């Protein structure tokens, strides 16, 4: 900090804590150092600045600064992002959004297998997966022109399935996995990974079936601009479609209080507007026939009680503010009682 701004600027600065980092405040300026998962630090930094009465926020990180600077620009009073290089700091330049990778053509013949087993095919970040109520139960591996189905909830489960049930056909294994997840992924069930993992994607599955919960007429899933590290990682789940008024809308679902929900959601809206994230090719794009110019609205959907004041404040602080809608606390009961289909 001294190397970047000198002793005089820090003479009366007050240090403080920050999850995965630290803060320094010298009114009206505040600094946040983000060390642990800096790519997910912007929302928390903005929340701290609002609580501390900081008028000019400076966010420092050693990685992901280009993405942070791009997301910061979505806010009416954007914080300044600085990149740490050894003991020195420099202003970060916003990184351009990249198009989401397409699912390889070799994987597409397995769409019928996924659907026949009663799972939802989802294409994100170049991978075709099978989901049941938002939980990944299989994914398609691809090497050149060859593709195969790997059944299991997460990497370790897929490896275990190969060892224990290698004699099953992929469809038989997937049907069994779908049935088991549907049995376990229900409201008030005993705690189990099948009903604890990916809650925001479970909520998205409900909202896709009941788009009116988001004030929409039709919704389809799309990829986020943030790739999940694993099934345990918190990651807002987006969709796009048309609102009840027929205008384009991006809907982003989250469960619990996620300080970075708003920056990520605004980033997804920007990517969707630019056509860099879109529905998978086997899904018709809801915006295709829209006659307007297309500045999509943004709706954040969270369960009752999770619409924290910070989330609403950050949603209102965007250049194009987002709406926050809540779903009833029993949202898990709204979809999921169907039985998995029998093998054809």
DSSP H/E element including 125: none
Q: How far apart are the first and last CA of the chain?
A: 66
Q: In whole angstroms, what is the distance from residue 268 CA to residue 322 CA?
A: 12
The candidate with the shortest Cα–Cα distance to 224, out of 77, 326, 122, 331, is 122
DSSP H/E element including 253: strand 248-253
Q: Say which DSSP state 107 is in.
A: G
Q: Which pLDDT band, with edges at 50, 70 and 90, does 340 fall under?
A: very low
pLDDT tens digit string along 42-78? 999 999 999 999 999 999 999 999 999 999 999 999 9
Strand order in the sheet with 297-303: 216-221, 237-243, 248-253, 297-303, 323-327
Tokens 């990944």 label which residue?
136
Whether the pTM exceeds 0.85: the reply is yes
As beta bridge partners, residue 298 has 250
Average pLDDT over residues 272-279: 94
Least confident range of 23-32, 198-207, 272-281, 335-344: 335-344
**pLDDT at 11 > cutoff 80:** no
What is the average pLDDT value for the chain, to the nearest integer?
A: 90
**pLDDT at 159 > cutoff 60:** no
In the chain, where are the structural domains located? 2-91, 105-195, 198-332
Which residues have C-beta within 8 Å of that of residue 309, sequence separation ≥ 6?
none
- What is the model's pLDDT at position 343? 37
Tokens 């009206």 label which residue?
28
Which residues have C-beta within 8 Å of that of residue 188, sequence separation ≥ 6?
none
Higher-confidence position of 126 and 9: 126
Q: For residue 240, how far is the Cα from the chain centroid? A: 13
Residue 224: other Cβ atoms inside 10 A: 20
In the chain, what percentage of residues exceed pLDDT 90? 75
Which residues have C-beta within 8 Å of that of residue 137, sequence separation ≥ 6?
119, 130, 131, 151, 152, 153, 174, 177, 178, 181
pLDDT tens digit string along 179-230? 999 999 999 888 888 888 999 999 999 999 999 999 999 999 999 999 988 8
**pLDDT at 338 > cutoff 50:** no
Strands (E), 46-168: 56-61, 80-85, 88-91, 120-124, 127-132, 135-143, 146-151
């Amino acid at each position: 900090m001294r190397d970047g701004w000198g002793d005089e600027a820090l003479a009366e600065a007050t240090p403080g804590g920050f999850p995965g980092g630290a803060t320094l405040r010298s009114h009206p300026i505040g600094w946040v150092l983000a060390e642990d998962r800096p790519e997910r630090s912007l929302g928390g930094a903005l929340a701290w600045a609002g609580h501390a009465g900081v008028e000019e926020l400076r966010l420092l990180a050693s990685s992901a600064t280009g993405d942070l600077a791009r997301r910061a620009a979505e806010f009416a009073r954007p914080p300044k992002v600085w990149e740490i290089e050894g003991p020195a700091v420099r202003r970060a330049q916003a990184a351009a959004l990249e198009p989401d990778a397409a699912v390889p053509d070799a994987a597409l013949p397995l769409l019928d297998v996924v659907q026949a087993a009663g799972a939802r095919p989802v294409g994100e970040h170049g991978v075709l997966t099978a989901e049941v109520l938002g939980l990944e139960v299989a994914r398609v591996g691809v090497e050149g022109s060859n593709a195969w189905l790997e059944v299991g909830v997460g990497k370790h489960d897929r490896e275990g399935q190969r060892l224990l049930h290698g004699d099953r056909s992929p469809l038989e294994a997937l049907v069994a996995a779908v049935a088991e997840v549907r049995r376990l992924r229900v409201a008030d069930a005993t705690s189990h990974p099948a009903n604890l993992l990916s809650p925001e994607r479970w909520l998205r599955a409900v909202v896709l079936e009941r788009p009116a919960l988001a004030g929409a007429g039709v919704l389809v899933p799309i990829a986020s601009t943030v790739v999940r590290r694993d099934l345990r990682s918190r990651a807002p789940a987006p969709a796009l479609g048309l609102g009840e008024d027929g205008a384009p809308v991006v809907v982003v679902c989250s469960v619990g209080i996620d300080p970075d929900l708003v920056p990520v959601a605004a980033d997804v809206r920007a990517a969707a507007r630019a056509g860099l994230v879109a529905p998978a090719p086997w899904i018709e794009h809801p915006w295709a026939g829209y006659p307007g110019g297309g500045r999509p609205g943004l709706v954040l959907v969270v369960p009752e009680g999770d619409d924290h004041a910070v989330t609403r404040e950050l949603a209102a602080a965007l250049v194009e503010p987002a709406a926050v809608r809540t779903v009833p606390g029993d949202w898990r009961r709204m979809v999921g009682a169907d039985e998995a289909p029998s093998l054809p």
